[in-house]
Structure 1
Amino acid sequence: MDSDAPRFAARMTLDTDGGASLGETRVRLLEAIDRHGSINQAAKAVPLSYKAAWDAIDTLNNLAPQPVVERVTGGRQGGGTRLTDYGRRVVAMYRALETEYQTVLDRVAAHLPDAGASDVRAFRQLMRRASMRTSARNQFHGRIVGLRDGQVDYEVRLALDDATEIVAVITRASAENLGLAIGQEVLALVKSSSVLVTTERGMRVTARNQLWGEISAVHAGVVNDEVVIALPGGRSVAAVVTHGSVEALGLAPGMAAGALFKSSAVILATYD
């Protein structure tokens, strides 16, 4: 290849129907979990912070059709974390595609001098803009199973899996702009600050979405704590709760808890 030709390194990202979910850092994290059987050691190997590693795993498990990582309890080592068989297949597929991807990029780069410099710059700008990320902590990949026209707004029901549904209310204009339809795959975003945590079942609240599970982690902060609730099916939802509330409720890993959030707090996104 001409030494003056730009070289594009294969830093591949795989998309689900709901958007980008799997890239180099997350794959290296999965590989490290498979080697070490420990999220703590895997995070150090990448490197990532312990919390960032768990955030990445929670996101992957939420977006994947089945869990890629599972917690293991008991045993002589006191438990740990391991890849599921599905997770190993995902990693193997990613690495195989990455090899082919690099071969294609090298072939394309060899011909770039034939294109105008402005074309190359425009392409690079497009690549940067297309890599947009969201600050929403909770990202769920779901399928639309219900649409109700309320004249001004639309109620959208999403099935995350066979056991879990969430409801979003968006404006009629937004629903039409997104082209929503039954069976469509979409991404649902919920900020962790919009999620309330309760330990009392049967409470009468206005929050339409009530997801019950077991607290898997409490990340302590100076003022606020992050509480992560593991849901049936391998997904999870995170909430930011004041440190005082965590202490008052006695929130701790292993407790049954519910994540409550309004339907208006759910943002929907689709991808062409």
Structure 2
Amino acid sequence: MPTRTMTPTRFLARMSLETDVGTALSDTRIRLLEEIQRKGSINQAAKAVPLSYKAAWDAIDTMNNLAPEPLVVRVTGGRQGGGTQLTDYGRRIVAMYRALEIEYQAALDRLSERLNDVGAGDIQGFQRLMHRMSMKTSARNQFSGAITGLRDGGVDYEVRVRLDAHTEIAAIITKASAENLGLTIGKEVFALVKSSSVMLAIDPAMKLTARNQLWGEVAAIHEGPVNNEVTLALPSGRSVTCVVTGDSCKALGIEPGVRACAFFKSSSVILAAYD
């Protein structure tokens, strides 16, 4: 009976770049950026990856929200009527990622050569553990920023998070949660807000009790049978998405280019921090 040869274990590089508040870039997102650079069209880039058009825009919104400055910008005018393109910052990020990926794969290959004396079961168990420890969130709005304010309310804390030079949001969390997260002034945190918790207004004179009020311009509307998903582009290049009924969109005159306010309660903001 022929001896069965054990195929050497090889770890393939699927690199992600981590910030103080979690994963910022992955291979899929980098490929999306590269296709945008080549084609100048989010629709064509999404097909090439492949991703749905909506998933591609969701990824771009998330990257722009988490990055110090936008990686992708919308371009209007021209013979093609506009499109999307990478910023200089976006091109530098792509180049850095690919350079790191080459070194990363080389390091993994060296590691694989040293694992010949480790049982295959141990390696597979390690791989399963890493998979289980991976975490993703369903929150549509994901922001990162530094804590600029902490106010002790007895049983809870009001936490202010600076997203950029012009935007700050507030969150209300329990005192126990604040202590568990180790929150301090200047610490980088992740702020998560479900799209269903965000509401829209278009009248600047309207007085609202919601602590968080982000003004921007309607950039995209994804229509559904009952509800629409509306994305506002903020002046900083970030964005915020909310769910609004189709009837409400019609009543408010919500359409691309309209200036609107996305507002949500501080209690609707979930904070996350990494050690």
TM-score with structure 1 setting the length: 0.97
Q: Which amino acid aligns with 1:74?
A: G
Aligned to 1:175: 178
The match for 2:211 among 205, 208, 217 is 208
State the AA in 2 paired with 1:17. D
Provide the C-alpha distance between the structure 2 equivalents of 1:47 and 1:249, rounded to a whole number of angstroms: 35
Larger radius of gyration: 2
Amino acid at match of 2:261: G
Q: Which residue of 2 aligns with 1:237?
A: 240
Per the alignment, residue 149 of structure 1 pairs with: 152
State the 1:244 CA deviation: 1.0
Q: Percentage identity across aligned positions?
A: 68
Which residue of structure 1 lines up, in the alignment, with residue 251 of structure 2?
248
Residues of 1 paired with 2:226 and 2:107: CA distance?
50
Could you say which residue in structure 1 is the equivalent of 2:117? 114
**Paired letter, 1:66:** E
- CA apart distance, 1:120: 1.9
- Equivalent of 1:263, from 257, 263, 266? 266
**Deviation for aligned residue 1:176:** 0.1
Q: Give, in whole Å, the separation in 1 of the partners of 2:108 and 2:214.
A: 44
Amino acid across the alignment from 1:177: N
Deviations 1:142-165 (CA, angstroms, capped at 9, x unpaired)? 110000011100000000000000
Q: 1:22 aligns with which of 22, 25, 28?
A: 25
Where do 5+ consecutive residues of structure 2 fail to align?
none
- Measured in 2, the distance between the counterparts of 1:51 and 1:25 equals 14
Ranges in structure 1 where 5+ consecutive residues have no aligned partner: none
Letter of the structure 2 residue corresponding to residue 9 of structure 1: L
1:234 partner SS? coil
* Pair 1:79-2:82 in alignment: yes
Distance 2:33 2:240 in 1: 20
Within the candidate set 55, 63, 68, 2:71 is matched to 68
2:163 to 160, 164, 167: 160
Q: Distance in 2 between matches of 1:3 and 1:230?
A: 54
Identify which of 93, 103, 108 aligns with 2:106. Answer: 103
Write out per-residue CA displacement over residues 222-259 of structure 1, whole angstroms, 9 at most, x where no aligned residue.
11100000011110000011111111111001000000
Q: CA RMSD in A?
A: 1.2
Cα distance, 1:5 vs. partner?
2.2
Cα deviation for residue 122 of structure 1 reads: 3.5
Give the structure 2 partner of residue 10 of structure 1: 13
1:219-230 alignment runs, 5 A limit: 219-230=222-233
Of 27, 47, 53, which aligns to 1:44? Answer: 47
Secondary structure of the residue that 1:123 maps to in structure 2?
helix
Q: CA deviation at 1:104?
A: 0.6
Equivalent position SS for 1:114: coil
Pairing 1:55–2:58 present: yes
Shift of 1:3: 6.1
1:8 Cα offset (Å): 1.1
Residues 12-21 or 120-129, more deviating: 120-129
Deviations 1:125-181 (A, max 9, x none): 231123210000000011100000111000000000000000000000000000000
The amino acid across from 1:223 in the alignment is V
2:204 partner SS: coil
